Every structure is written in C-alpha cells, then in structure tokens.
Amino acid sequence: MNFSKKVSQGSASFTRPSLGAGSIFLILVFLLSGCLQGAPDKEYRVKNVIDGDTIELESGSMVRYLGIDTPEIRKRQDDGSWSYAPEPYAEKAKEFNRQLVEHKTVRLELDLQKKDKYNRLLAYCFAGDVFVNAKLLEEGFALLYTWPPNVKYADLLVKMQEEARRNNRGLWGELALIPCKDAKRYLNQVVIVEGKVSSIRQSVKVSILNFGQSKFKAVIFKETFPVFMASGISIPQTYKGKTVRVTGRIKEYKDAFEIIVRHPSAIEVVD
C-alpha cells in the first residue's frame, strides 16, 4: 500500500531590501541554527541508513522515524560502548529501509516534539509516494511505537501493524511467545509475553499490570491513558483476572522485568 501527499509549489517575486549589520547577523543566526527544525515538509538527501528506523542526512543530521521501532542492530555494553549484536529481523529491517531511502531525496514531516533525548530529529519520512514509517510496519519490519505528543498518524500506523500481524508478515511470524515467568531470559528483546493479570496498581501517573509471583509487569504511563479511554478500555475492568498477551521490548527496572505499553494494540486478551 502506498501513501502519497501532494505538495504544491509556487513562486514569489520580491524586491531585495538593503541589509544592515543587524539584519545580516539575524540571518546568519537563523541559518546556523538548523533550518530543518522550523521547516517540516521539506526535502533532504539521505546519506546513510543506520538501521531500520534511523537515517543520516547529507547535512549530518540524524533522523529517527516517528511511530515505529525496529529490532536493534547494536547492543550497549557495561562500559558504555556498543557491539554488533543484531536482534532477529534487525538486518532485514535495515536493508528494507536502505532500499527505500538510501542516497535518495526524501520529504520529512515533523510533529509537535522535534527531537529526542539523543538530539535526533523525529520525523515521518516520505520517499516519493511511499510513507516509509507505515511501509515498515505494513511489511512486518517494525513495531508500533507511538507516544504523545507525536501521534499525528497514529491511527494509520495502528492499521498497518494490525494488517502485518493478521498476515504473519515479517517479524510477526517469528516473535517468541513466552510465559511471563521467563521474561528475564529475554531481556532487551522484542517478544510476546503471556500470563494472567493477578492485580493492577493504579495512580494518576501510571497503571501497572502484575502477573502473580513472576517478576514481569506491563506498564502503562499516564500519557497513554487517553488512548485507552478513546478505545473504550477501562484498564482494571478490561485486564484484571484475564490472561493476556503483551507485545514489546522487555526492560529491567528495580529487579523486575517490564514492557512499557504505548498503545492498546500491544495488549491482547486471550481468555
């Protein structure tokens, strides 16, 4: 499925004014500050593909695709260095991304939050008539990774993931289905965890789904509450006492293991 967004271009004539020292200084500041942040929907040349969801522009700017997460190619060591340790489908996702965008001109569209904590630009990427973020989801090379306030295309991206999952495309045909007691063995991996929700701890900031005596938890932060409400889901009523499957990357936090749930589609009730 292709996604297109037509952009009309016009021209304007003007009379060039004379520039004083102050005006020249302001122009230089604007140029040096990085035009991309204030100019979404512009075209840029891709120099290099880092992995399935990250690219480098010819300007040197790093761009992280919004709304998706692909398997990791590198792993951070205890000393802070990185080693090559690709997760399943990581290389395939990178290659698919490379075929779509490497050494090509792409159009980048920003959302409300422009950069992440690593100073990477956050963008929706369009290569010709292909919406790259959505295409990676549709073909099963990525998982949904929506997070407020950057949710402009959330509904479309959800549909693309559901289609890939229904058809067992890409990683959906290979994700491990594990019992919650085995979560520790799959640290930092993307898996599907199955278990019975024994209790739910709620506060104004977070809802935590506990799974009996296991150390596994599913965590839903307040930023995502409105999405559950809009889907007609009351977290305690829907999940407590139910056997569910939670899809995502397992992280360790305070001697426990968890998946941060960023969208209701990541939790499937199987009772």
Specify the pLDDT at position 39: 47
Specify the pLDDT at position 202: 95
Statement: residue 46 has pLDDT above 70 = yes
**Exposure class string for 102-139: b at 16+ Cβ within 10 A, else e:** beeebbbbbbeebeeeeebbbbbbbbeebbbbbbbbbb
To the nearest whole percent, how much of the chain has pLDDT over 90? 76
Statement: residue 198 has pLDDT above 70 = yes
Q: Which residues contact 29 (CB under 8 A, 6 or more apart)?
A: none
Say how far apart CA 191 and CA 227 lie, in whole Å: 23
**DSSP H or E segment with residue 98:** helix 90-101
Q: Do domains 22-170 and 176-269 have the same CATH topology?
A: yes
Where is pLDDT greater, at 8 or 136?
136
Specify the pLDDT at position 34: 40
* Active-site choice (64, 98, 165, 262): 64
Specify the pLDDT at position 74: 80
- Is 72 among the residues known to form the active site? yes
Q: Which residues contact 173 (CB under 8 A, 6 or more apart)?
A: 140
What CATH architecture applies to the domain 176-269?
A: Beta Barrel (2.40)
Q: What is the mean pLDDT of the chain?
A: 86
* 215-222 average pLDDT score: 97
Specify the pLDDT at position 167: 96
Specify the pLDDT at position 225: 96
Specify the pLDDT at position 28: 37
Specify the pLDDT at position 42: 85
- Is 74 among the residues known to form the active site? no
Where is pLDDT greater, at 120 or 41?
120
* Active-site choice (72, 138, 139, 258): 72
Specify the pLDDT at position 81: 77
Statement: residue 16 has pLDDT above 50 = no
Specify the pLDDT at position 178: 98
Assign 67 to helix, strand or coil: strand
Statement: residue 130 has pLDDT above 70 = yes
Statement: residue 21 has pLDDT above 90 = no
CB of 138 closer than 8 Å to CB of 160: yes
DSSP 171: G
Q: What is the pLDDT of residues 131-167, one digit of tens each?
A: 999 999 999 999 999 989 999 999 999 999 999 999 9
Specify the pLDDT at position 241: 97
- Is 109 among the residues known to form the active site? no
**22-170 is classed CATH 2.40.50.90:** yes
Specify the pLDDT at position 79: 76
Domains of the chain, by residue range, sit at: 22-170, 176-269
* Active-site choice (120, 165, 249, 262): 120
Q: What is the pLDDT of residues 58-109, one digit of tens each?
A: 999 999 999 999 998 887 777 777 788 788 889 999 999 999 999 999 999 9
Statement: residue 12 has pLDDT above 50 = no
Where is pLDDT greater, at 82 or 234?
234
Q: Which of 199, 203, 236, 192 is nearest to 214 (CA)?
A: 199
